[in-house]
Amino acid sequence: MLLPQVEVVDGNTLRVEGLGDCLVDDWIMGSEDVLGPASATSLRNAVRRYVEEFGYETSIFLTIEQPHRGNKDLIQPIYVEMRVSGDRICVTATDHLHDDYPIDLNDHEPRYRELLRPLLERHGGRIEKIWTSESPDGSTVIAMSISLSTRRRTVVEIASIGSEFDLLVGAASHSIQSIFAPRSALDVLKMGYGHLIEGQAESEWLESKEMPYVKSDGGKMELAKDVASFASTGQDALIAIGFKRSKRDGQDIVGTSRPFPEERMNKESIRGLLSSSVFPRLEGLDIGTSSVGDGKALGWIFVPAQNKSLLPFLVRGRKISNKVKDNFFSIPHRDGEHTNYSDPEAVHAYIAAGRRYLRDEP
């Protein structure tokens, strides 16, 4: 599929094929619906031509919409700055430290490189530069830029990686309380930086548990219900284990980390239970623990986006009068931070839709 191409119209305008124009002033301003779907490679080439023709460098600002950090029901605009560097596009992030300026960057740089490594490996990025500057209040700002390949990517895909990068860097000093990408939250758990997800709102992709699931029938049903409900969203999701749940403005959030005895989380037992209790079979589950010392750990169950043709996921069995009846099934689904169940009308609608499909009816 050929992505929309970007061309230089004049000194004030870039045009996205079939979508509209972007204003060029001191920088290029584009929206998610106009510039976002365009080929990142064609944008890179258009910026190169612009520099050659008009003689000065320019940055690119793309406006993308994301859930508000404090209220998941609201949408806030995020402005991602990008610039062309050689055959790649660079994005920049900053972290505001409370230390007085200047600082020894060697004391901080290794931590950032370790924190960013999984994101860079996942997206084929590389760190271009890390530097410091002084903020108006005399404290230190650490800035860093990463570069990304434009090949087979849209502009909004580059910007989304840049936004994830910025949120992850900001979370490193707890200056923000949101990591919008499930895989970044998984990354910090795996690296032992569990404190970085404290304060994150539970949502359609995130839930926290203070202790690993218990081995009783009730605990097994809760595990199957939670994982199946996330799988049915069709997007990446994470259950973070070893965190006390808390509240903020009436909403459940990931509270303080409470590492648990590592032997209490049997990863193979969890896989076996999910294999026998959730249908169809889940693909790509990542179940693990990260040791924090003294025999204790934080844990996770990461549910990658499942093939939408397999939705919804069913749970075998239902707890009735403190006993699990295997001749029942349920269809749990995620509703924000909560899990609900499909009612009989919804189950019948699934069956009826399947029958119509098999009969090739509209």
Query: What residue ranges do the domains of the chain occupy?
Result: 1-180, 197-362
At residue 155, does pLDDT exceed 70?
yes
Domain 197-362: which topology? 3.30.950
The two tokens of residue 306 are 């499942």
Tell me the pLDDT tens digit for each residue of 124-140: 999 999 999 998 888 88
Is the alpha carbon torsion for 194, 199, 203, 207 positive or negative? positive
CB-based contact 14:8 (threshold 8 Å): yes
| Mean per-residue pLDDT, 212-239 | 92
| Mean per-residue pLDDT, 175-187 | 71
Higher pLDDT: 172 or 156? It is 156
pLDDT of res. 70: 47
Phi, psi of 219 (to 5 degrees): -65, -40
At residue 37, does pLDDT exceed 50?
yes
* Segment 10-18 long-range contacts (CB within 8 Å, at least 24 positions apart): 11/53, 11/54, 14/43, 14/46, 14/50
At residue 344, does pLDDT exceed 80?
no
Q: Residue 49 — very low, low, confident or very high, per pLDDT cuts 50/70/90? A: very high
| pTM of this prediction exceeds 0.75 | no
